[in-house]
Structure formats: C-alpha cells, structure tokens
Amino acid sequence: MKPKNGGRTSTLNPRGLRDWEEGTLRPALERKPERRKEFTTVSSLPIERLYVAEDLKGWNPGEKLGFPGEPPFTRGVHPTMYRGKLWTMRQFAGFGSAEDTNRRFHYLLEHGQTGLSVAFDLPTLMGRDSDDALAEGEVGREGVAIDTLADMEILFRGIPLDRVSTSMTINAPAAVILAMYLAVAEKQGIPLEALEGTVQNDILKEYIAQKEWIYPPTPSLRIISDMVAFCADRVPKWNTISISGYHIREAGSTASQELAFTLADGIGYVQSCLSAGLDIDAFAPRFSFFFNAHNDFFEEIAKLRAARRMWCAIMRDRFHAKSPRSWMLRTHVQTAGCSLTAQQPYNNVVRVTVQALAAVLGGTQSLHTNSLDESLALPTEDSARIALRTQQIIAEESGVANTVDPLAGSYFVEWLTDRLEQEAWSYIKRIDQMGGIVAAIEQGFPQREIAEAAYVYQRQVDGGDKIVVGVNRHSEGDVLKAPTLKIGPGVEETQVARLLATRQRRDSGSHARTLERLTRVAGTKENLMPAILDAVRGYASVGEICDALKAVFGVYREGRVQF
Amino acid sequence: MGTERKVRLLIGKVGLDGHDRGAKIIARALRDAGFEVIYTGLHQTPEMVVATALQEDVDGIGLSLLSGAHNTIFPKILRLLADKSSGDTVVFGGGIIPEEDILALQRAGVRRMFTPGATTQEVVDWVKANVPPRRR
C-alpha cells in the first residue's frame, strides 16, 4: 500500500513536491483559499507559500555561508557572536542643554547601558551656532546644542572617556565635533590612542536621504579622507565613518534599496580614500555600518546577512584589500522610527521588540531600540528605560543569544538573503554605470527611487493593502496616552548666553589667527584636522569653523525636487 | 458653465529640518487629487514661505515639521500672513507634534495638524472641505 504522503521521503525529490501540491495542497486550497492572492514583504517583495530544497538549487553552504568570524561573514563577524559578548546596547540620547544630556547619560550608564550615543540638535548638525537666524526655535529640540568646546566639556563631565565608547551622530561638521571630543580627552588627561567610538560622518547619505549637508560632495569627501587619515595615525580605535542605511530606509526606501545605496556609499568612501593615497588596510577596518530594523522580520535578517556577504566581496574582490579585517562589515542597528505610530503608542513597544529581535538574529554588533513615544516627541526617561529593558529581555531571557546565526540553512531565509543580494547588486551595477555614487546623487537617482518607494508604500497603507495596526486596522479604543518629554523654553536663551560669554572670554587675537589658518589650509592639500583641533582648543564655535571652511568650499544646494 | 479655479497650495519645509518624506508624499497626493501644488524645498525661513505664498497667490499653506520647532514657526507664519493682509490663507501642518501643542496651535489659528499615521486620503479630503479658493 502506498503511504499517505505518496512515498515522499524528502523535499529533495521534486516528484515529492508535485505529489504534495496535487494530493495535499490542492484539496486544502479548494476547501479554503488563502487569505490573499499575493503575499509580499513590507518592501513589496513577493513571498511564496513554501520554500523547499529546490529553491536553493546550486546553493553551496561553504561559499555562501562559511563559518562565523570567517569570510564571507554571512554568519557573523565573530566566531562566538553573542556567546562571547552581547551586542552593545547603545541608546541614542540628547536634548536641551549639555547639562540635560549629561544627566541622561549618567542615568543610562547607571541602568546598565554599555556605550553612549549622542544626538545633536539641528543647528549643530547643520554647522550653525545657536544664535544663527535659521536656528530659531530649534536649539536643543531634537538633540543637544553644542556651540563650543565649553559645551562639550559639560556634556562629558564625570564620564571617563577611556572607559566608555561614544558614538556621535554628526555628519557635515563631524570633523569639528570629533576635534572637540579629542580636546575633552586631552583635558581629562586621556591619550587619544585609548579613545573608542564612532562618528557617523556619512555625508553621502545626507545628500540621498537625511538632507543635513553644508558643502558640496567633493570638498565634503576631502574633509572625510583627512579625518580618516588623521585617525588612522592618531586615534587608531576610532570608527571614522558609520556608513548609514538607516536614514535611507526612514526616507522610505525598500530593504534592497537600503542595502544597495548604503554599500554604494561605502564604495564611494573607499574610492575617495584610495584617491587621497591612503592604504586600504589602514582605513577600511575602521569603517562601520548602520542599518535600520524595520517590521518585516525575515527580510531584515536577510538584509543584514546579505550586507556582510556583499561587503566582503566588495572589499576582497573589487578593492583587493589584503586584511580580512577590511572585509568585515560591523554594524549598528536602530529599530525603524518611521514604523512607529502616534495612535495607540504603547503598541510601539511590541513593534520595537520584533524589530530588535530581527537585528539580533541578523547579527548586529550594537543596537538602539526606539522608545514608544518617539512618534510624539523625544523619549521620556521612563520610555527610554523600557526601550533599554527590551534589549535586556531579548539578551537575557529569550535564548536567542545562545547560538550563532540560528536561522542559517532555512530554505526561506537563505533564499531571501540571496534575493536581496541580487537586487542590491543590480542597483550597484547601475550606479557604477552612472559613474559612481556621487554622479548618481547629482543625477538625483537614489533620491527618486526612494521617493517613489515611499509614495508606493503610503498608497498601500492608505488602500489597506499594507496593514498598520491601530491606524488602518484595529484602530478603535485609542485611549492610552503616553506622557511626552517637554524641552524647557529657556534652553535657547541659556545656550545663546553661554555662547556669547565664551566668545567674550576667549583670546580674540589667537582665535582670529586659528580661523585664518583654517581657511588657508582648506585651500591646500594639507590635512585639515590639526587646524580644526587648534581652532576648537581656542573655543572657536562650530558655526565659525564651518563658515571659515565655506569660504573656500562653498555650500551645497539641492537641485529641483520632483515629487 | 464657468470653470472653477483650481485651489492652489504651498507645501513647505521650514527651518533646518531635512525630513522631507512626508512633505513630498503629501505634495504628490494633493497634486494627484487635482490641486495645484508648489513645494518649497528644504531650509526655508518663515519669511521665505510667506513671500512665496503671496507671490504664488495660494489658498492654503501646509507645513511639515519634524524638528520640534512648531511652536516657534507656525505662530510666526500666521503673524507674517496677517501683517500682509493675507490672514485668510488656510494654514495647516503635519509632523511629530504632541497633542497639547496641537491644541495650542489650533487656538492660535492653525486650522489642522496631521500626525504620523494620517492617510493621504484624510489630508486630501480635509483640504477639499476646508480650503476654498480665496476671494480676490
């Protein structure tokens, strides 16, 4: 007698799959059709009912996966992953004055956070002082206001810079802020070689997505290669660029666009540093990455696994880096701010948990979990603690940190990893054909692709094709309100007063000389960092230093925006 | 049969805030719904927005703000419009805006605030119902 499953012993036998489809699946579908005609990821990638061995035909685990800590690093960059050391729990924080943020840093460190991450306010991010006309209403709102070294000294008061690692989300004026951090370390008596941390310093994604630029691309890339060279020499443990897909995704890209444009930016930085004459194995190991963790669980895991495999190929096969450390994609992940809803804000805790779990299963090195109230305002102390606790529960209770890359070998996850990789390679090929990422940006290519994807997604949500719980489904009963953080009205005034006092106090003669020197160096091929450090030590402000450079570099203007 | 003049709208980003995903989506959805839409681009001052609004003779101004500067920027726009005798221009907005601030801004004269999760259809329907062509 034929067994019920038609003699199927394994899905490796294609006859067995057909038998299942005919004998088992078809009658089931006739009795009860599936919920939808088509199932897709949040990025609109079609997903099949079932993945079987045939979907991985020709797939070679030795080549596609390797082992953890070995190329192509699909399974992770460390041999033991979270068994050896948990990911760094790094909550992004910053608001109000340097004093306010310094208090929040001490609070987070006392609650078990293991690294600092600084959010700067918009004027600082744009290289403008707190008394600049365009800064009105924005001082200390979205992050901490930093004008001069005096603010930075307060920001890190009581925090030994040789014992924490600090990530600073700063891009266009990154060289200035890094110089201030180095100057604080000098004052604390800490050698620069001991400092650990990251500056985001990723200007290319600013033109693509976040739009916080100062100078045009060419001088911006020169400032970056100067910093990279300076750090390789003087601050060897510093991560000089955090190549960021996060903002690209927040601007509305799909997962494969995030992957592709981020890696294309990475290629752009490598090319720029090579043209500046730097040795690839001296700078590449200090590049790190920063990805988004959105709602689509498996797509996000696949994206991170594909990213590591692709970067290894790019560095080893395209740029011929010799050191395996140059091939490793180390990354920070933040859960997707854009996925949070203002409606029923407590539901956001669950979204963040799912996203954080994807980041961990994707093998991240550090993680920021968003707070439930971030669709309303900056997080309160309580909501920031819940976000941190979410990571601690995943780390300590869920068991997912017990083994390395637990999803490897899943037909679906490996298929999806390959699929995202293919889509990303085809974008990278198009960008190469355009003449590289800077040319592509100047043509508005990534910007248009992202805006289109954002619009398509919004239409899907509006049409109910994509469900957002509490918004277009299950929206009744929105009664729980989350309390929100208030930024005191006095911040701007106090900050401006401190800036004016600092300007009064400093030595005006040497101040003017350091800024003149900066403008002069900008016009040569000399490394800018020593001149920036000198200006910072003399309490020149972020705005003054950026203006001195603008005099030579000019400013960036966005081309016509299509919508 | 008289042809009714299309309602003209200015969608703007004010200040240093670079989050333009929402502004561009709303601009496109309003254009697709038949409105004439002008988008300011990034990094405008309130003065620039009001000057553009007057020059383009718009009926409504929609501002997207995710920078936390809403309590400064909206009142300033309303004041500048009133100074130019264009206080009948409908001002609305959207972004990361806490509820208490929304109430205060609406009392000050901002007609409607949309928060994350608002659909483009909601915005289109509201504009259709609440932004009439201004008398000239």
Q: Confidence class of residue A32 from pLDDT cuts 50, 70 and 90?
A: very high
- Contact (CB<8Å) A375/B29: no
- Contact (CB<8Å) B15/A134: yes
Which residue of A lies nearest to B13 if distances are taken between CA atoms? Answer: A211
DSSP-derived secondary structure letter, A524: S
Contacts of A126 in chain B (CB under 8 A): 16
Residue A134 at interface with chain B, using a CB cutoff of 8 Å:
yes
Reduced to 3 states (helix: H, G, I; strand: E, B; else coil), residue B114 is strand
Q: For the whole model, what pTM was predicted?
A: 0.92
Q: Confidence class of residue A6 from pLDDT cuts 50, 70 and 90?
A: very low
State how far the Cα of A136 lies from the Cα of A133, in Å rounded to an integer: 6
Residue B67 at interface with chain A, using a CB cutoff of 8 Å:
yes
- Contact (CB<8Å) A563/B119: no
- Per-residue pLDDT, A2: 46
Contacts of A455 in chain B (CB under 8 A): 24-25, 28-29
Q: Could you read off the pLDDT of A498-513 as tens digits, one per residue?
A: 999 999 999 999 999 9
Contacts of B41 in chain A (CB under 8 A): 558, 561
Mean pLDDT of A394-406: 98
Q: What percent of chain A has pLDDT over 70?
A: 97
Residue A367 at interface with chain B, using a CB cutoff of 8 Å:
no
- Contact (CB<8Å) A451/B24: yes
- Contact (CB<8Å) B68/A338: no
Residues with Cβ within 8 Å of residue B54, at least 6 apart in sequence:
B84, B86
- Per-residue pLDDT, A560: 76
State how far the Cα of A450 lies from the Cα of A248, in Å rounded to an integer: 8
Which residue of B lies nearest to A337 if distances are taken between CA atoms? Answer: B116
For chain A, the residue count is 563
A376, B96 Cβ separation under 8 angstroms = yes
This model of the complex carries an ipTM of 0.86
State how far the Cα of A348 lies from the Cα of A370, in Å rounded to an integer: 9
What ranges in A235-372 are assigned the alpha helix state H? 246-250, 255-275, 280-283, 297-313, 324-327, 348-361
- Per-residue pLDDT, A112: 82
Q: Compute CA distances B74 → A368, A375, A474, B105, whole Å.
A: 32, 20, 33, 7
- In the stretch 9-48 of chain B, residues with CB closer than 8 A to chain A read 15-21, 24-25, 27-29, 31, 37, 39, 41-43, 45
State how far the Cα of B110 lies from the Cα of B113, in Å rounded to an integer: 8
B29, A545 Cβ separation under 8 angstroms = no
Which residue of B lies nearest to A207 if distances are taken between CA atoms? Answer: B18
| CA dihedral for A105, A107, A108, A113, sign (positive or negative) | positive
Q: Could you read off the pLDDT of A154-174 as tens digits, one per residue?
A: 999 999 999 999 999 999 999
Write the DSSP string, A164-196: SEEEEE--TTHHHHHHHHHHHHHHHT--GGG-E
Contacts of B68 in chain A (CB under 8 A): 138, 141-142, 377-378, 487
State how far the Cα of A26 lies from the Cα of A55, in Å rounded to an integer: 20
Q: Could you read off the pLDDT of B54-100 as tens digits, one per residue?
A: 999 999 999 999 888 899 999 999 999 999 999 999 999 999 888 88
- Per-residue pLDDT, A7: 46
Strand A116-119 and strand A92-93: pairing? Answer: parallel
- Contact (CB<8Å) A468/B117: yes
- Per-residue pLDDT, A111: 86
Residue B69 at interface with chain A, using a CB cutoff of 8 Å:
yes
Q: Could you read off the pLDDT of A261-308 as tens digits, one per residue?
A: 999 999 999 999 999 999 999 999 999 999 999 999 999 999 999 999
A263, A315 Cβ separation under 8 angstroms = no
DSSP-derived secondary structure letter, A25: I
- Per-residue pLDDT, A487: 73
To the nearest whole Å, the CA of A402 is away from the closest chain B CA by 37
Residue A340 at interface with chain B, using a CB cutoff of 8 Å:
yes
